[in-house]
Amino acid sequence: MTLHDMNGVREKESSVVLSARNIAKSFGNIHALKGVNFDVHRGEVTTLFGENGAGKSTLMKILSGVIQPSSGEIVLEGRPVTFHSSSEARDLGISIIHQELSLAPNMNVRDNIFMGREIMGPGGVDYAEEEKQTRALMRELEEDIDPLTLVEDLRLGQQQLVEIARALSVNARILIMDEPTSALSASEVEVLFKVVHDLKSRGVSIVYISHHLEEALQITDHAVVLRDGVMTASAPRSEINLEWIVRNMVGENFDLGSPPEGHRIGEVALSIRDLTVPDTARKGRNVVDGVSLDVRAGEIVCIYGLMGAGRTEMLECVAGRLANASGMVSLLGHDVSSLSIAERIEEGLVLVPEDRQRDGLVQTMTVGKNLSLASIGAFTRNSIISRRRERSLVERAIKNVTIKTSGGEAEIGSLSGGNQQKVVIGKMLATNPKVVLLDEPSRGIDIGAKAEVFRLLAEGARRGLAVIYSTSEVGECLSIAHRIVVMRRGRISAEFSSDVSKEEIMAASGEAVNAI
C-alpha cells in the first residue's frame, strides 16, 4: 500500500466502514470478480446492482467470509482484515442474510436466534435469559413475534425479521442483505424498510442487493453497479436515477446474434392453454396462473421474467416434470398433458433444465453416455445396446453442438461450464425434438459460450425447430428471439416483437416499476 493510499484511507475513515480493495476471485478458469473496489458507508445503505452472473453474490460472500478472494484485500475500520470463515466475519461485526434463509424451521424463534451461541447457565442452557433477550430484540424491531413460535409457522417476512434479529443479537455493525424482498408481500416490504431505517439510525451499515431497481432506489444512499465481475459505476443517491442504473448494468452488449430470417415459419408446434400450476409452498396460490402461449415451428420465443415469476415452473410443467392443476399442453395438435416425461420426449418435446449440475448432467458418467442418455432407444434393439451406433450418435452430437472435449470417453468434470451446458443441450437435441424448451440456457457460462449456444438455437430454428428459452438477463431477450414474452407473478404480462427496447421489457416484468 502506498503512502497516498494510506492517506486516502484515513480521509475516508469517518464515512467508510468497510471497503474491498481490488478484490478478484476465480473459479478454475472463470473469473467471477476481476479487481473490484467497493465501499460500505457508515450508517447508510449501499446498494449493489448488477445482472445475474455479474458477481454480486460472490462479492458479498467474500465480504462476509463465506469464501476467500483469490487476491485483493478487505479493509475494516481502516485496518486490513482477513476472514477464514463466516463466523470470523461475524465476530468482527459483519453479518449476512442470504437469499435462502438459513433458519431451522423445526425450531422456535429463540433457539434459532441463539443457535450455536447458547447462553449457558449453571444447569445447562439458560432458556429464560435467551427468551428475555429475544423479546428485547423483537421489541427493538417493533415486531410482535413470540420467541417460542416455531419458525415454520411464521410468514416469510417474519422469518426474515428473525434473521435480522439474529444478526443484531451478535451486534452486527454491517449487515449484508441479499435479495431480501424477493419473497415478501408489499406490507412485509414496508416493515422491512422501516427496520432498515431504524438500523441506519443506530449506526448499522447496510449492504443491499435487489433486482427490484426502483424499490432499492427508495432506500439506498449509495449505488454501486457491477457488470461481468467489474465495478462499472458508483455514485451517491442524489446523483443517480433509474436510467443511470440500467445503462450501467446492461452496458454495451456483446452481439448475441439476431433473429434468424428467411426460413419458413410453420404451423403451431406447441400450444399451451390456460396452464395453471399450484404453489406447493403456499396453499391457494399458483406459481403459474393461466398461461396461454403458441409457438410455431421455426420460431424462437424468449420468456423474460424476474426470479419467482414462474418461468421455471411453467417450462417444467410443459415438459411433464410438474403436475398442472388445469390447462392443456398440445404438441402438433394433439394433447400431451397426460403423458410422462419419457413419452413427451418420444413425441418430440424436450426440456434443457436450468440447473445443469442438479438436473442436467450425470456426473458419474462419461460425456458420451450423458449425450446418449435421452436417446437410448435409438441405438438399442431387443434391449441390447449397439455400441457402434451409440458411438456414431455421440460423435455426431459432439460435432453438431461443437463440444470441446477429448472425446466421448472423457469425464464430464473435465469440461468447462459452457461445454457442459452444450452436453445437456446436445443430449436433448439428439432425440430429434420438434420443440425444445431451455430454462436459462446461458446461466453461468461465459459470453463466448453464450453466443455459441444462441447460434445453435438459431440454426435449429432454421431447420424447423420450435425454440423457447427463458432468461433473466434483458440483453439476451434482444438477440435471437422473434418474440419476447414477459412473465410476472405467474402470468404473461406482456408480449413484444424483437424491436422492443430493454426499458419496455423491464417495465413489463415489474423490475423498474414500484414493486408489488
Among 9, 16, 20, 32, interactor with another protein by CB under 8 A: 32
Is residue 345 within the footprint of another protein (CB under 8 A)? yes
Nearer to another protein, 67 or 507 (CB): 67
Query: Can residue 339 be called a binding residue for another protein (CB under 8 A)?
Result: no
Residue 368 as a binder of another protein (CB under 8 A): the answer is: no
Contact pattern from residue 77 through residue 116 relative to another protein, giving x for each residue in contact according to CB under 8 A and a dash for the rest: ----------------------x-----------------
Cell digits for 404?
470441446
Cβ atoms of 442 and 472 closer than 8 Å:
no
C-alpha–C-alpha distance, residues 154 and 49, integer Å: 30
Given the complex with another protein, which of 128 and 362 has the nearer CB atom?
362
- In this complex, which beta carbon is closest to another protein, that of residue 97 or of residue 168? 97
CB of 468 to another protein, least distance (A): 16
Tell me which stretch binds another protein (CB under 8 A): 101-109, 241-249, 272-280, 358-366: 358-366
409 binds another protein (CB under 8 A): yes
Asked if 52 touches another protein (CB under 8 A), the answer is yes
Which of 186-194, 325-333, 337-345, 480-488 is the region at the interface with another protein (rule: CB under 8 A)? 337-345
Nearer to another protein, 109 or 429 (CB): 429
Q: Determine the interface stretch with another protein among 46-54, 242-250, 271-279, 295-303 (rule: CB under 8 A).
A: 46-54
What is the Cα–Cα distance from 423 to 415, expressed in whole angstroms? 9
Which long-range contacts does 152-155 make (Cβ < 8 Å, 24+ apart)? Answer: 152/105, 152/106, 154/109, 155/188
Beta strands in 71-221 (DSSP E): 71-76, 79-81, 94-97, 120-121, 124-125, 174-178, 205-209
Q: Which three cell numbers stand for residue 120?
A: 449457558
- Residue 331 is a binding residue for another protein (CB under 8 A): no
List phi, psi (to 5°) of 86: -70, -25
Residue 58-77 contact track with another protein, rule CB under 8 A, x = bound: x--x-----x----------
Residue with smaller CB distance to another protein, 140 or 347: 347
Does residue 170 touch another protein according to CB under 8 A? no
Structural element, H or E, at residue 276: strand 268-278
CA distance 291 to 437: 16
Piece in contact with another protein (CB under 8 A), picked from 2-10, 50-58, 154-162, 462-470: 50-58
Give me 431's grid cell.
432425440
CB of 376 to another protein, least distance (A): 5
Please give the torsion angle defined by the CA atoms of residues 186, 189, 194 and 198, in that order, rounded to the nearest 10 degrees.
180
Per the structure block, which three cell numbers stand in for 455?
Answer: 447460434
Say whether 214 sits in a helix, a strand or coil.
helix
Residues 464-483: x/- map of binding to another protein (CB under 8 A)? --------------------
- Alpha helices for 67-185 (secondary structure H): 86-91, 109-113, 127-140, 156-169
Assign residue 74 a region (left: φ > 0; alpha: ψ between -120 and 50; beta: otherwise).
beta
User: Is residue 254 at the binding interface for another protein, with CB under 8 A as the rule?
Assistant: no
Smallest distance, another protein to C-beta of residue 415, A: 6
Burial 140-176 (b: 16+ CB within 10 A, else e): ebebebebeeebeebeebbbbbbbbbbbbbeebbbbb
Grid cell, residue 272, equals 399451451
Measuring CA to CA, which residue among 173, 202, 208 is closest to residue 95? 173
Cβ 283 to another protein shortest distance, Å: 21
- Residue with smaller CB distance to another protein, 234 or 420: 420
Question: Interface with another protein includes 377 (CB under 8 A)?
Answer: yes
- Helix (H) or strand (E) holding 487, with range, is strand 483-488
* Binding pattern for the stretch 427-466 against another protein, x by CB under 8 A and - elsewhere: xx--x-----------xx----------------------
Distance, in Å, from the CA atom of 287 to the CA atom of 138, rounded to the nearest integer, reads 32
Which of 4, 84, 334, 358 touches another protein (CB under 8 A)?
358
Which of 4/358 has CB closer to another protein?
358
Size of the site for another protein (CB under 8 A): 61
Backbone phi, psi, residue 468, to 5°: -125, 125
Among positions 291-320, residues that touch another protein (CB under 8 A) are 319
Nearer to another protein by Cβ, of 29 and 201: the residue is 29
Conformation bin of residue 327: beta by default, left when phi > 0, alpha when psi is -120 to 50: left
Q: Does 501 bind another protein (CB under 8 A)?
A: no
Residue 3 or 384 with smaller CB distance to another protein? 384
Residue 411 binding another protein, by CB under 8 A: yes
Q: Which of 349, 302, 298 is nearest to 321 (CA)?
A: 349
Hey, is 135 helix, strand or coil? helix
From 353, 426, 441, 475, residue interacting with another protein (rule: CB under 8 A): 353
Residues that bind another protein (CB under 8 A): 27-30, 32, 52-54, 56-58, 61, 67, 99, 319, 321, 340-342, 345-346, 351, 353, 355-366, 369, 372-374, 376-377, 380, 383-385, 387, 409-417, 420, 427-428, 431, 443-444
